Structure 1
C-alpha cells in the first residue's frame, strides 16, 4: 500500500508506527534463476517451468493470524534486461474498477511488489496492479515512519505487464477461479536509485516482498460493494509481523543465480534486527532526545551476534548505532541511523 494514515482518503489505511517482533525469524528466501518468458498474463511460457513457486502467502501479521481464504503464490525469473514476476491468485469473484494510471490501486483488490535493491531501507520501489491491468508505480526515498512520502512521479519506462482472468471480470452472476499477473520490470528503471549493480550479478540478494490486498464485498443489485467499516485483508509472501508493508527490513530475500543454487541466509540478520530494536527504542524518546548508549535504552546485544559490542553515537543529525559483524569471514561495520537507513561498510 502506497499511502499512509493521516492523508485525506475515503478509507484510512493503517500504517504502523511501531516495530515488528523484537526477534523475528529470518525472512523468506527465494533463488531466482535465469529465463525470459513471454508476457501474456498466463504463466504458461516454458521459461516459467524452471522457476519455483514461492511459499503460499500468509497474513501480513504472520502465523498468529488465520490463513488466507484464497491461495496466492508467485514465481520470479531474470535476464540481462528484466526482472520477471508472475503471480497466481485464487479468487471466486474477480472485480476491479480503477482504470487511471497511478490511481490508488489498493482501493481495488490488487497485487503489490516492493523492492529495496541494496537493503538499506531507503530508495525503495513499489508497484501495484489490479485485475484491469491498471498499475501504480512509485518510489519512496525513505519509509513513512521516517517522514517519507510516495513519489508518484517515478515511472517504470519499458514496463511490460499483463493480466489473465480465469473466469469473468465484474460479473457477479458466476463463480471465477482467479487471476494471474505477469510483470517484466527493466533493470534500467530499478537501477536509477538501486545503490548496487542493476542488473544484479550472480549471488546478489535484493530485498523483495509481495502483498495482496483483498476486500470483503457483498453483491448489491448485481454490483460488488465493499462491506462498510470492514478492513481489507493483507496477504504477503514474507510476514511483516505488523500491519505495515513499509518495514523494508522484514521483506524477503531474492537471490539471483544463473543456475539452480542453495539459498544463503543473511548472516547479519540477527545484527540487523537488534539495530532496529535500537531504532524503535530511540523513536519512543521524547523530543528526539536520543540516548547515547545501549544501557540508556535498556538494551543488551545478543551473544555471538557482533564481533565487537555495538555502540551508540550522537551525531549532528541524530544518532548512529553500529557494531562489527562477520560477512564472508571478514569484519564489516553495520550501522543504523535516526532515519532507519542501514549501512554496511
Structure 2
C-alpha cells in the first residue's frame, strides 16, 4: 500500500496535456450550392461560410503564433463533407508525387476526423501543394499500439489545390495556396454513429494541421534549413486549428468540435452546444495516463488514483476500466486503450 500511495502522489504532478479549457468549435451548415472542387474558393460557393479562427502553434500559448496565417471553412450536403483552406506562404514548394507517401516531409495540410469522438477508428488525410495525398485510417491512437491502415483509400474523394504565385519557383514571392476537399459520407460513415452520416446538431471531433518547414534558397533550389552546429535539418513547425498542448496530433481528445446543422447557410444562425462533460473526459484521460505510467513501473494497474470526480476503477492484470457520471446524466468510460464512450 505504501508503494501505491507514493505513486499516487507522483502522478498528481503529471504535466497537463490539454492546451485550453475547451477545444475550438465550428457550426457546419448545409449548402444547396454545387461545390466544384477545383481549388478556387469562389464566393458563390463559399462566400456565406464563416472562416475558422486562425491556426496557432500545436502547443498552444506555450509557443509564438505561426509565421503565416492558415484558416478553414466547412460545409456539407447529402453526399460530402467539404473543407476549404487558405494557407499564406511566400515560397510555395512541393516535391512528393506518389500517393500514400509521407506527405509531411513536404509542407502540407492535414485533416483528422473522429466521427464518434471515442479516440478510436478515425481518419487522417494529408495533402501537399501538388495535390498529392495520403489517406489512412487508424483503429486507435499510436500511443495504444495502433495499426495505421495505409492501404485504406477514400473512394470518391475529391481534392484540388490552387497556387496564387508559382510553384517551386524561388525567383519570386508567392501569396498563398487554397485547398478544396470533398469527403464522401459513403466512406466517412464507416466509422460513424450507426454507420450513417451526421444528424442535425450532432458533433464530430475534427482537427486540422499544417506542417511548415523553414527553407532557404541555394543555387536556385529550395532547401530545408539546417542547424549549423549539428548539420541536422531544423524541426518542422506544426500549426493547428485546435491546439493539442503537445507536439502530437494523434491525441483525438483535444481535437475541435464540428457541429453539423441542417440549416442552410445564411438562413439563420445556430448556437454551438458546448460539451458539458468535457471536463470529465479530460479527467478520464488524465487517469488513463496515470494508469499507463503506473503499469510501466510496476507491471500492474491500480485503484489508488486521486481524482476530483467520484470515479470507479475496475482492473485486472492486463485491463482497466474507469468511469464516472457526467453533468449530462451519461456515464462516461475509458479503458486501457484510451477509448472513451458513454452509456
Do these two structures clear the TM 0.5 threshold for a shared fold by scoring above it?
Answer: yes
Find the counterpart in structure 2 of residue 21 from structure 1: 17
Q: Does 1:245 align with 2:252?
A: no
Q: How does 1:1-345 map to 2 (within 5 A)?
A: 20-21=16-17, 24-35=20-31, 36-228=34-226, 229-259=233-263, 260-285=269-294, 286-292=297-303, 296-297=304-305, 299-302=306-309, 309-315=310-316, 317-327=318-328, 331-345=329-343
Moved more, 194-203 or 18-27: 18-27
Moved more, 114-123 or 39-48: 39-48
Instruction: Select the structure of larger CA radius of gyration.
Output: 2
Number of matched pairs: 315
1:146 & 1:167 partners in 2: Cα distance?
42
2:128 & 2:103 partners in 1: Cα distance?
7
Aligned with 1:25: secondary structure? Answer: coil
- Aligned-residue offset at 1:332: 1.4
Moved more, 260-269 or 210-219: 260-269
Q: Aligned Cα RMSD in Å?
A: 1.5
- Aligned-residue offset at 1:323: 0.6
Structure 1 261/197 Cα, relative in aligned 2: closer, same or farther at 3 Å? farther
Structure 1 30/22 Cα, relative in aligned 2: closer, same or farther at 3 Å? closer
1:20 & 1:247 partners in 2: Cα distance?
13
Paired residues of 2:116 and 2:191 also in contact (CA < 8 A): no
1:198 & 1:106 partners in 2: Cα distance?
31
- Aligned-residue offset at 1:315: 4.0
In structure 1, list runs of 5 or more residues that go unmatched: 1-17, 303-308
Which is richer in helix?
2
Return the TM-score normalized by structure 2: 0.89
